[in-house]
Structure 1
Amino acid sequence: MKIGKLEKVDIRQLWIGEASDFTPWLAKKENMELLGDEIGIELEVVQQEKNVGSFRADILCRSTIDNHNILIENQLEKTDHTHLGQILTYAAGLDAVTIIWIAKKFTEEHRAAIDWLNKITDDKFNFFGIEIEVYRIGDSLPAPFFQIVSKPNDWSKAVKATTQSQELTETKALNLEYWQAMKQYLEDKGTLLKQQKPLPQHWTNFALGKTDIYMAAVASVRDGFIRVELNINTTNAKEQFRILQSKYEELAAVEIGDKIFWNELPDRKVSLVSLEKSVNVADKSNWPEQHQWLLENLEKFDKFFRPKIKNL
């Protein structure tokens, strides 16, 4: 078998200018998916060249999991102090934001600076340092590659955020450990599902490709169940829920399970579709089986509902 040689390509051969070439390329849906796959967040572009004070961030996105702001700053050269100052300005000018700094090369000083920012800030802020590289094999088309050089420590941030205001209760500590274990389980299984960072709460969200429509896994220590949910939390949630139910309720029972439950929740903004299983959430020895059940049904929900909500 012949094996090709991986050849590194100068990124300036693909993108001459940051604002004129790279930013519009990155803002395309298929390229945002590449970046989102690398950092584990589904990204939905809101605006290019977003004003933040007297500066302009290259791309403003939202996370489809929890709708929080994500700002992307691009640099087709080695990192410098000017861009570091800009990302600090963006962080100061926005509430609850994730900053992604993409550059050709990160110096050790700037990588250490991103590590430090993740260490000293609470869970409202997340900083990613990502190097962009391009490769080809022989005469193949050049392929971009996003390499993370610095990222948030989800576990320590979740604990820090909670303990700043109060000590973790026994149940909250168990919730945090449960979702951390599930995240590791999903990583080991290699699923394409994108989970929010583990937090000390009884649910965790998963992206479904559209802002304000997402999946959730729920684990109730008190009531003894785990549940998979489709949450519709848009401004016209009730109308969208009825459309889905009228068209797909019978098919969902066949493809997902006959115990699937459709709940419009008329007194609340959100409507949901769910599937539930009775378990002992506190039994850690049973967690792999619970996580397997959640994974299987989250993937069923994703496969069934993603193409249908895309056209809502």
Structure 2
Amino acid sequence: MDHGATFGTLVDVSIREAWSHEAHRFTPWLASNLDRLSALIGIPLELIGTETRVGSFSADILAKNSADDSIVLIENQLEASDHTHLGQIMTYLAGLSTHTMIWVAPNFRDEHLSAIRWLNEHTIDPFAFFAIRVRVLRIDNSPLAPLFEIIERPNNWDRQLAQQKRTAEGNLSELGQNRRQFWTHFCGKYPSYGTPDAASSRWSILPGTDAVVVQYLARDSVGVFVRPRRGGAMEDLAIELAPYLAALATSLAAPAGGQTSFLSQNLKIDTSNRENWDQMADWLDERVRAYQETFASVCTS
């Protein structure tokens, strides 16, 4: 007798079968797949960096909430939650001025869930704390599939997200509305840059360095420049770039700079004229790609 569809058996797989090492396997994979966490908790995440030093510790992943430019800390484990990670998380919150903390582990002890719950109940907006369980699943001989589940989150989180969105949209000035509309146009043409917002600038990581290339939108121009990653110092970046700066400036045809930024360039154009937006978007994308390729060639050779 035909009983219709054939079903497989869904089983949990050891998390170590998917990622054999926390720092070398799991952290890099998670940093490259932040969209999975974004979809789960409802905020757009952009990678800032991994293994960021805070005192004698290193934060696993730092990201940016591109809706408001706030810092998001992500700590990940391949073992059950422990007191060590909880203590490190509290250290990072102070050292990195973080608003949102996401703790990812295959299992959480009751006392650690209680700590996350207490933090959500006794801190004010914009602080938010998440405990997210990671599982690895398989159906018969299928490829492994990661699954993330929220175990603890702030009270009324969905309502908070909706209110934040309404407030942000309602409070936008004419300039802010123009920025959001342009970045929406830009990200629609070049989706790899992520989610549009109303900020005046966006940034992308430069390979081989602790620097980012910033794209900005002004009233009479668009431009790019290089600065340290969030939390970094211009003095430190100046030392890091010193051996390469002349070659970078020559290759990019940009002034070296060094007081408030490096390698700044701009395109003078009326940014309020929508007929110019394709040209602006193309110029910004071409410059970012040129900066990334040049830094990869010069600073990592």
Question: Normalising to structure 2: TM-score of the pair?
Answer: 0.58
In structure 2, the CA distance between the partners of 1:91 and 1:235, relative to structure 1 (3 Å rule), is closer
CA contact 2:137–2:147 (8 Å) conserved in 1: yes
Distance 2:163 2:277 in 1: 18
1:70 corresponds, among 73, 80, 83, to 73
Tell me which of 207, 210, 213 is aligned to 2:211: 213
Q: Aligned pair in 2 of structure 1 residues 170, 63: CA closer, same or farther (>3 Å)?
A: same
Q: State the alpha-carbon separation in 1 of the partners of residues 257 and 291 from structure 2.
A: 17
The CA deviation string for residues 73-105 of structure 1, in whole angstroms up to 9 with x for no partner, is: 55879x9xx99xx79x94996333331233569
Determine which of 282, 291, 297 is the counterpart of 1:301: 291
- Label 1:225 to 1:59 Cα distance change in 2 as closer, same or farther (>3 A): closer
Q: In the aligned structure 2, how far is the partner of 1:129 from the partner of 1:37?
A: 17
State the Cα distance separating 1:277 from its structure 2 match. 1.1
Which residue in the other structure is 1:178 paired with?
179
Deviation at 1:36, TM superposition (A): 4.1
The amino acid that maps onto 2:267 is K
1:23 and 1:194 mapped to 2: Cα distance? 26
- In 1, Cα distance between the equivalents of 2:297 and 2:10? 36
Contact 2:31–2:61, Cα closer than 8 Å, also in 1: no
Counterpart check, 1:15 vs 2:19: no
Q: How does 1:85-234 map to 2 (within 5 A)?
A: 90=90, 94=94, 95-102=97-104, 121-122=125-126, 125=127, 132-134=134-136, 142=144, 144=146, 156=164, 169-171=173-175, 173-174=176-177, 177-179=178-180, 181-182=182-183, 185-186=186-187, 189-191=190-192, 193=193, 198-200=197-199, 202-208=200-206, 212-221=210-219, 224-232=220-228, 233-234=233-234
For the Cα contact (< 8 Å) 1:213–1:234, is it kept in 2?
no
* Residues 72 and 263 (structure 1), Cα distance of their counterparts in 2 relative to 1, 3 Å cut: same
| Partner deviation per Cα, 1:104-142 (whole Å, 9 max, x = no partner) | 69xxxxxxx9xx99xx723xx466675634356876774
Q: Which runs of 5 or more structure 2 residues have no equivalent in the other structure?
A: 1-6, 37-44, 108-116
Deviations 1:167-209 (A, max 9, x none): 65543x24xx524652574366332x467x8354x32222335
**Aligned equivalents of 2:278 and 2:189: distance in 1?**
11
Distance 1:287-1:137 versus aligned 2 partners, 3 A rule = farther
| Partner-residue secondary structure (3-state), 1:10 | strand
Tell me if the contact between 1:219 and 1:227 (Cα under 8 Å) persists in the aligned partners: yes
Give, in whole Å, the separation in 2 of the partners of 1:6 and 1:248.
Answer: 56
Structure 2 match to 1:45? 51
Output the aligned Cα RMSD: 5.3
| 8 Å Cα contact 1:217-1:226 kept in structure 2 | yes
CA distance in 1, matches of 2:163, 2:211: 26
Gaps of 5+ in 1: 52-57, 106-112, 254-259
Q: How many residues align?
A: 256
Once residues 74 and 224 of structure 2 are traced to their aligned partners in structure 1, the CA distance between those partners, rounded to angstroms, is 30
Contact 2:208 2:295 in 1 (8 A): no
User: How big is each residue's C-alpha offset from its partner over 1:19-63, in whole Å with a ceiling of 9 and x where there is no partner?
Assistant: xx77446665x3243344654314311369x99xxxxxx954434
Q: State the Cα distance separating 1:216 from its structure 2 match.
A: 0.5
CA shift, 1:297, in A, is: 2.0
Give distance in 2, aligned partners of 1:145 and 1:217. 34
Shift of 1:308: 4.0
Task: Verify the 8 A CA contact 1:43 1:61 in the aligned structure 2.
Answer: yes
Shift of the alpha carbon at 1:225? Answer: 0.6
Q: Percent identity?
A: 15
